[in-house]
């Protein structure tokens, strides 16, 4: 039935789009930039084994590789809603996994897949692109040309919450019960094969989005991916305790991890400066690396199939995580913070004919930049900047900058100098954080929700300042040091001025 439905829509929606490139939109969950292509100062930890990510490294070698890309909020629903609409959380009004549908509380915004659908593309989605649930209206049906597809979770749901990590040693189990991400990859291959003839002939370009669940908890992967990381090669983080001078509001007690039965049995509290047993830390880190390499292998099968089908020269490939992840650094786990390891995640963009030789940039970039970039990369006119006041009634606009200028000049001075993120706390406080070339500066302030959705800057709860030249692991909060007062005042002004005042045309 699905085959006939896709074939029918291909014929119905067919338009003369011979000049348009296809778009393959790949997303991974909870992936920090622990890829071999990120080795160097932008790698998330100085203590790590050799990473096995050959397929994403190959993609990076022919892409615009964004070494310093930051999400707008380090948790799934807010982050995905933000980059899929090109709007920041204070515009989408999605701050939590359980937030109401963004079209109800933010605005009837045109999403990335919806934009391509409206411009003659067949928009097909599978896996985890939007965060499933009410914040996306259950995968935002209006964004897709065909019904959204999810893998069968019935078998693997049995192990959910039982094990924080699991190495699958029995190949016959996987043969009869493929892992969720294996099912997604297989569905992506089958879909590409169905769409290829019309795409190659120029009759019907496609926007195909495939979202992988790993390396999200639980860290489940076939045994061969654990074998890539011998346990003796796994090290503990070199900074297992909270930053000196860190305010308690900055901390997350990593309840997401503590819900797993094997972790719950340890009676871990998630309290500041409490740590998990060393052996458990090593096992979790190893499981994360294995799940990441497993994801890399699945993405490799899709890219290989793209080449086999003759679509590689006419398909834009976008890959990104949805936020970073903490692997015991500071004794912290998962995301849900404003630290570097939570907000920093991989992003790369391959545009045939433009990035084939590989372009690496250290420019500060944000995930809201992805939407306007894909629009321009596909040959459509640039999106207009959203108005400063009441953009909720504007269905199509951007709150980021197109990355296309970085392809021509990855070191251009006409680019933003800051990246902005935020995270809410249950006590009516919002943490606003600003990453500059050298510093991460954060203010935790009272936040006014509906109808204004604005911070009360004068109601300051706590401040953080980390110097990434002298302290790249964010171990010392300089905001509590009196010698940093003038720097704090200057950075505070820049944070309050916000992202609009950092746009290139505002600075020059």
Outline where DSSP puts E strands in 297-438.
315-321, 326-327, 333-334, 347-350, 359-366, 419-425, 429-435
Q: Measured between alpha carbons, how far is 70 from 213 in angstroms, rounded to an integer?
A: 20
**C-alpha pair distances (Å), 330 with each of 188, 265, 325, 354:** 38, 22, 12, 40
3-state SS, 56-121, equals HHHHHCCCEEEEEEECCCCCHHHHHHHHHHCCCHHHHCCCCCCCCCHHHHCCCCCCHHHHHHHCCC
| Chain-centre distance for alpha carbon 379 | 24
Q: Which two tokens stand for residue 413?
A: 């001075």
Q: Which residues pair with 320 in a beta bridge?
A: 27, 347
22 phi, psi to nearest 5 deg: -70, 165
By the 8 A CB rule, do 415 and 426 touch? no
| Chain-centre distance for alpha carbon 130 | 11
From the list 17, 48, 76, 320, the catalytic residue is 76
Cβ-proximal residues to 334 (8 Å cutoff; 6+ apart), any chain: 30, 217, 252, 254, 256, 257, 325, 326
Q: Which two tokens stand for residue 55?
A: 């397929």
Outline where DSSP puts E strands in 189-303.
206-212, 219-222
**C-alpha pair distances (Å), 494 with each of 441, 466, 477, 500:** 10, 16, 18, 11
Residue 76 among the catalytic residues: yes
By the 8 A CB rule, do 77 and 89 touch? no
Outline where DSSP puts E strands in 4-139.
22-28, 64-70, 122-127
From the list 52, 131, 187, 350, the catalytic residue is 131
By the 8 A CB rule, do 431 and 442 touch? yes
Residue 131 among the catalytic residues: yes
Residues that are catalytic: 76, 131
């Amino acid at each position: 039935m699905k085959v006939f439905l896709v074939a029918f829509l291909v014929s119905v929606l067919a338009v003369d789009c011979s000049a348009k490139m296809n778009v393959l939109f790949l997303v991974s969950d909870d992936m920090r930039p622990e890829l071999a292509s990120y080795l160097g100062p932008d790698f998330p930890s100085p203590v790590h084994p050799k990473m096995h990510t050959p397929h994403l490294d190959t993609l990076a070698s022919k892409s615009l590789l964004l070494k310093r890309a930051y999400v707008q909020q380090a948790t799934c629903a807010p982050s995905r809603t933000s980059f899929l609409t090109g709007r920041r959380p204070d515009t989408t009004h999605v701050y939590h996994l359980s937030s109401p549908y963004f079209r109800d509380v933010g605005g009837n915004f045109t999403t990335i897949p919806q934009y391509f659908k409206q411009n003659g593309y067949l928009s097909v989605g599978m896996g985890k692109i939007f965060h499933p649930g009410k914040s996306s209206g259950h995968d935002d049906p209006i964004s897709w040309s065909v019904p959204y597809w999810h893998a069968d979770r019935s078998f693997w749901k049995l192990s959910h919450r039982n094990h924080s990590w699991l190495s699958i040693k029995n190949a016959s189990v996987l043969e009869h019960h493929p892992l969720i991400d294996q099912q997604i990859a297989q569905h992506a291959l089958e879909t590409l094969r169905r769409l290829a003839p019309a795409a190659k002939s120029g009759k019907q370009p496609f926007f195909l989005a495939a979202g992988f669940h790993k390396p999200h908890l639980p860290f489940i992967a076939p045994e061969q991916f654990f074998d890539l990381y011998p346990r003796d090669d796994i090290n503990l983080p070199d900074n297992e305790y909270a930053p000196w001078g860190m305010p308690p509001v900055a901390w997350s007690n990593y309840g997401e991890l503590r819900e797993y039965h094997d972790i719950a049995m340890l009676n871990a509290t998630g309290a500041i400066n409490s740590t998990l047993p060393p052996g458990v830390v090593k096992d979790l880190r190893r499981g994360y690396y294995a799940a990441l390499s497993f994801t890399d292998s699945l993405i490799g099968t899709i890219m290989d199939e793209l080449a086999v089908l003759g679509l590689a020269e006419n398909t834009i490939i976008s890959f990104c995580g949805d936020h970073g992840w903490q692997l015991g650094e500071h004794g912290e786990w998962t995301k849900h913070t404003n630290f570097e390891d939570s907000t920093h995640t991989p992003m790369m963009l391959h545009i045939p004919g433009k990035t084939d030789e590989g372009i690496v940039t250290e420019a500060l970039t944000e995930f809201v930049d992805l939407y306007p970039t894909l629009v321009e990369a596909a040959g459509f006119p640039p999106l207009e900047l959203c108005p400063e006041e009441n953009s909720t009634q504007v269905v199509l606009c951007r709150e980021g900058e197109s990355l296309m200028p970085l392809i021509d000049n990855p070191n251009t001075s006409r680019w933003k100098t800051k990246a902005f993120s935020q995270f809410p706390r249950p006590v009516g406080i919002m943490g606003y954080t600003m990453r500059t070339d050298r510093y991460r500066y954060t203010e935790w302030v009272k936040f006014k929700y509906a109808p204004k959705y604005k911070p009360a800057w004068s109601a300051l709860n706590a401040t953080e300042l980390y110097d990434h030249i002298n302290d790249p692991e964010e171990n010392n909060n300089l905001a509590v040091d009196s010698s940093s007062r003038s720097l704090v005042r200057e950075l505070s002004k820049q944070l309050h001025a916000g992202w609009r005042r950092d746009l290139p045309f505002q600075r020059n």
